């Protein structure tokens, strides 16, 4: 997996191209969005990833001991 950064999405191939009739408004909106706090904090994402891994491990154990 590649390293994520706030601008890494710009390097991805464009698969759906929306039409932005006012590019200045688009740029202003993007600039405004950069001033807002993140919707999800990195620590929260790491915690969720660990929790999901723990659930997956428990499910693996449960399935391994299940009788057909």
Residue with tokens 């001991």: 65
Considering the entire predicted model, what is its pTM?
0.47
pLDDT of the chain, 68 residues: tens digit per residue? 678 787 888 888 889 988 999 999 999 999 999 999 989 999 999 999 999 999 888 877 766 665 55
The ranges assigned to domains in the chain are 41-67
φ/ψ region of 67 (left if φ > 0, alpha if ψ in -120 to 50, else beta) reads: beta
Could you say which DSSP state residue 37 is in? P
Please give the pLDDT value at position 62. 66
DSSP-assigned letters across all residues of 1-33: -PPP-TTGGGGSPPSS----S-HHHHHHHHHHH
Q: CB of 31 within 8 A of CB of 6?
A: no
């Amino acid at each position: 997996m590649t390293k994520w950064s706030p601008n890494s999405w710009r390097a991805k191939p464009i698969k759906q191209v929306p039409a932005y009739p006012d590019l200045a408004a688009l740029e202003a909106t993007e600039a405004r969005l950069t001033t807002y706090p993140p919707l999800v904090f990195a620590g929260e994402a790491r915690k969720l990833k660990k929790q999901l891994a723990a659930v997956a491990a428990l499910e693996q154990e449960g399935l391994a001991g299940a009788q057909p």
